[in-house]
Amino acid sequence: MPDELDVNYDKPRQMRMPDSEWDPFEAAAKTMHPTGRSPRAAVVRQFIRWYMRRPGAKLPDRPPAGPWSETPADDK
């Protein structure tokens, strides 16, 4: 069953990240969270909970290597 924090709509937050990371991050997150409204947000929330050392929080599981694992040519 999803955590209540993962299903209720929250105030939108902004985060600056290059498209060369944000777009592949979505593909990677969807491999681990194929359903739900925002797989990237689920991973970011899980990481933030772990980072703040909330009780029971764990690092998000990482997907197996895929096309998102390659460094884009414009970032080299």
63 pLDDT higher than 80: yes
Domain locations in the chain as residue ranges:
18-61
* pLDDT at res. 11: 83
DSSP string, the chain: ---HHHHS----------HHHHHHHHHHHHHH--SSS-HHHHHHHHHHHHHTT-TT--PPPPPPS-GGGSPPGGG-
pLDDT digits (tens, 9 = 90+) for 1-50: 455 555 666 788 888 999 999 999 999 999 988 887 788 988 999 999 99
